[in-house]
Chains A and B, each alone.
Chain A
């Protein structure tokens, strides 16, 4: 594990490694090769010498449909949804389990899709923002509450917040405002519109109970 935890995650995103950066500077002086430290290759790359070499066809249960998809062994669910299945409603804000923009439900539990390997959710029910409304377009009560209250601003965080709330309300359908805040505190809104988010999500809780 690097000191800043940046280089250790086996995700698709290469990052800097502080420890290796410093070593590189010390070792190479003024002349440094980018390859010495700039990027950690993916696990795929390290093993196979060429990224993207091996994909396996698997079946996923996404929004109630069986989807056949070729998936690399190091592929995250967020990348599968976004780049293989065209479900771009799941957003990538940080790609490292910090912001919650990629939150989806896996067997009704909110999970950061950026930090779940697609292979690990075979046979599980995956629900993304696209699968929340009814096929006839009727919005889920949580979505309806957002629309009625003009919730969110830029809304890049919104799919994640909505999925986190849907998941949380399954475990606590009658939260206090403070409990709800704790329940969805794994999601960041950089417009910082948290008060309005809580307003609409408390309404969402009422609507979800049919109140």
Chain B
């Protein structure tokens, strides 16, 4: 592993910035939470117990769409040991309908932000980058739906924890609390619910058929925050029935850049295809269990959430209380992958049940089957893509039509994000995207690791592969030729955007270096001999893909306290979801202020401990956002240390510095130990002990500072550093596969991922993100899916052995990774996020390798199952397997 962790020198450097060297950052260490994890002491939400705790069971809807007419719970509530029932009527009143501004926000949802912002929750961070095609103002919102006309239908109501109109099978109708889970289940069994069945739809394309049912009573297509009914023509549907996507059919969303007709006119080669990819469930290993109780007017909740600071407002909104009335505890979270960004609606259930029971602790254990229903999904696509190329491989135009299976609640926008990333990754000079976000009575969609990004890879990479084959161009070369670099521009605009509006641009991009280093590490040139090589029934194929995703937001806070015992407490509002960013980014403060890491204690996981405002733990934002914020905080701490030294020992602060022991006089010796400096700060008060804090920090940080003022020397700051552009992370992936053409079974023989994440801050964590993120992308290609019975609208893949997340046997046992390591110039630390670019790149590389092995005509849908390959081979190399059917 040692050599894998050392980034390989770039093969063809183009005046690259120098790598940054640090004392702590970039070196492996053990995160302080790891021993608790490996000894079983780490407590996740369902590991908490409380005196008198009762248990909840949910009644899931048996129907994909229905209206509850009546609930008779009398028999259940008469049972001894049954304590209460919670129904939709017990939930807080819906918030006022969003106005025009939220409409735009919903349409231009930043990557990685939850689609379902709850009552009372803040809008997604305005500065969040636009993986959803949503750049910061004043650039146009590339992911935005077309402007909504005046006669627009009203905005759709938000999703709630319990409902009287279930819109997917398994949606919770009510909850029962009892002495035990078994008893609660018994009680549920005795409740009689009368339903009125309502029409439903599973396959988005079937919702487009004239006269077909709509997924919601308000319509079948999400347009901004509203819905309307859109039906295609009989001719369009005849094409669908014939297995051909109707390219000329009506779309509700259009985004363009350049002149698509001109682009295709200039092309020497045009490649087009219908394509389809599946809806997949997130399946974090820890389900969204939650425990709640009330004490002294406050609601205490143990929850499983990705973010911590950014979960408070959403959960408070769902419970119907003020954020300051909520204490959230989430020290460890067993994965989320986008499905628990701000917690989950369902977390309101134990809180409200507990309130009904006068504060008695209530545990809601979510089973795996329940998690599959309520735990969110990545929207699947059906559609078409067409790309034009010059003889040298340069992309001249991209045209695509994507129908996304949005689930029942709101527009997802993954499809627009895919278009945005197509524009970015292939620097298309001319591009058009048309799309529909169709309501389906299937589990609600939400961001899943690289939302729209993974799908972009599946959409575009096989087309690029086919083009390179036809043009006789090397697969790495064609990607390098079209790849962005430096401050490259990208993005699409809604129609009628005034000419000359600025486009998105990157803060940095070294994806070409990723391709060079990956090719070297993989041995691309030598492996070309394996392309199409047949041994018995087995054929080899090699493939390469590139991935990009948002990798950083700005404007969050940091907080630390140097205590009189000489220890530095570093407070983090970041959730501990497994990426280690909650600890990794804390090290920046120690780095900047020269505090030994052994002197540092990281405080996280409990909002009553006084935590600073944070980014959401999604959209690969955290590493960038919090290395910047903690850089500012570390500098604030150091500045105060030198100021105190100057006050006490004369001279100016600039004449002082810090070393491992404390504050030194430059060219002289130690003047203040860490402990002494903390004592002096307490004596000085004011800005030094946190009595006075900067005006611009967030209210949550201010409250945290107020709680800790007077305890030591406080470093506290908001990230006010400049940024010009959008920060994206990149990766190249290389794969070799072996396909048995007599059985269709395929394996990945070898895999390499090389990332552009700016400065590497923790190599071991980065390796996990690259390989793990890659395998999540590969799982999409290999096996993961949701299957629905279209007649009953019933889920048929509620367990892991049905929906098939990848196993340890699905990986090549010697996958390698590396990182370019060149710093992003917009971050003094130089770091960017990586969680998502890996997922994108790996999927594309494996698909390309499969196409390389069996031919470009074979694969038109994911996951690529053996039977798809066999049927296509039997069909003369053309796809034969349900080309446009979803949820199979």
Contact = CB atoms under 8 A, between A and B. Distances in A.
Contacts of B813: 177-178, 181, 195, 198
B233 interface: no
23 contacts: A14-B185, A29-B197, A31-B194, A51-B182, A90-B40, A92-B365, A98-B799, A129-B38, A132-B39, A146-B34, A148-B30, A150-B580, A153-B768, A155-B38, A155-B332, A156-B335, A162-B38, A182-B809, A185-B809, A191-B578, A192-B772, A192-B779, A195-B771
A194 B775 contact: yes
Contact of B799 (A96, A187, A199): A96
B764 A94 contact: no
Contact of B796 (A4, A93, A148, A182): A4
Given A139-B35, A196-B768, A157 B285 contact: yes
Contacts of A38: 59-60, 62, 188-189
A147 B166 CA distance: 46
Given A6-B369, A154-B286, A155-B38, A98 B43 contact: no
A111 interface: no
Interface in A36-70: 37-39, 41-42, 44-45, 50-52
A18 interface: yes
A64 B309 CA distance: 41
Contacts of A98: 368, 799-801
A34 interface: yes
B275 interface: no
A35 B191 CA distance: 7
B577 interface: yes
B7 interface: no
A184 interface: yes
A196 B771 contact: yes
Contact of B182 (A52, A86, A184): A52
Contact of B333 (A95, A154, A181): A154
Given A35-B191, A185-B807, A150 B764 contact: yes
Given A132-B39, A152-B37, A196-B764, A32 B195 contact: yes
Contact of A158 (B38, B287, B807): B38
A35 B332 CA distance: 37
B771 A51 contact: no
Interface stretch (B44-52, B92-100, B220-228, B820-828): B44-52
Given A150-B765, A154-B286, A181-B808, A16 B185 contact: no
B857 to A, nearest CB: 30
A6 B367 CA distance: 12
Contacts of B808: 181, 184-185, 187, 189, 194, 197-198
B31 interface: yes
B792 interface: yes
A18 B796 contact: yes
A101 B43 CA distance: 14
A154 B57 contact: no
A190 B31 contact: no
A33 B191 CA distance: 7
Contacts of B182: 12, 42, 44-45, 51-52
A162 B186 CA distance: 36
A62 B30 CA distance: 30
B798 interface: yes
Task: Rank and list the top 4 A-B pairs by shortest CB-CB distance, nearest first.
Answer: A89-B40, A154-B578, A156-B334, A51-B182
B196 interface: yes
A178 B749 CA distance: 13
A33 B285 contact: no
B229 interface: no
B195 A37 contact: no
A190 B34 contact: no
A92 B46 contact: yes
Contacts of B190: 35
B579 A153 contact: yes
B764 A149 contact: yes
Interface residues of B, number: 90
Nearest to B67: A30
Interface string B158-202: 000000000000000000000111110110111111111100000
B527 interface: no
Given A150-B29, A155-B42, A192-B806, 18 more contacts: A4-B798, A5-B799, A12-B182, A14-B185, A25-B63, A34-B191, A39-B185, A41-B185, A87-B40, A89-B39, A93-B287, A150-B30, A152-B578, A153-B769, A155-B38, A190-B337, A194-B775, A196-B771
Contact of B334 (A91, A143, A185): A91
Contacts of A41: 185-186, 189
Contacts of B28: 150
A150 B28 CA distance: 8
A16 B62 CA distance: 9
A99 interface: yes
B39 A139 contact: yes
B848 interface: no
B747 to A, nearest CB: 12
B714 interface: no
B19 interface: no
Contacts of B63: 25
B776 interface: yes
A195 to B, nearest CB: 4
B767 interface: yes
Which of B40, B60, B179, B181: most chain A Cβ within 10 A? Answer: B40
Given A158-B37, A190-B284, A13 B367 contact: yes
Contacts of B43: 88
B28 to A, nearest CB: 7
Contacts of A159: 38, 40
A128 interface: yes
Nearest to B181: A12
Nearest to A16: B369
A190 B335 contact: yes
B318 to A, nearest CB: 23
A99 B39 contact: no
Contact of A30 (B197, B774, B807): B197
A11 B137 CA distance: 54
B370 to A, nearest CB: 9
A188 interface: yes
B794 interface: yes
A15 interface: yes
A128 B40 contact: yes
A20 B811 CA distance: 38
A62 to B, nearest CB: 13
B285 to A, nearest CB: 4
A187 to B, nearest CB: 7
Contact of B772 (A29, A139, A184, A193): A193
Nearest to B817: A195
B191 A147 contact: no
Interface in B797-844: 798-802, 805-809, 811, 813-815
A50 B193 contact: no
B164 to A, nearest CB: 14
A27 interface: no
Contacts of A149: 764
Interface string B843-885: 0000000000000000000000000000000000000000000
Interface in B298-357: 332-335, 337
B151 interface: no
B1 interface: yes
A100 to B, nearest CB: 10
A162 B794 CA distance: 37
B621 interface: no
Given A147-B30, A154-B577, A185-B808, A193 B368 contact: no
Nearest to B1: A199
Given A25-B792, A181-B813, A50 B186 contact: yes
A35 B189 contact: yes
Nearest to A37: B62
A79 B796 CA distance: 27
A85 to B, nearest CB: 11
B533 interface: no
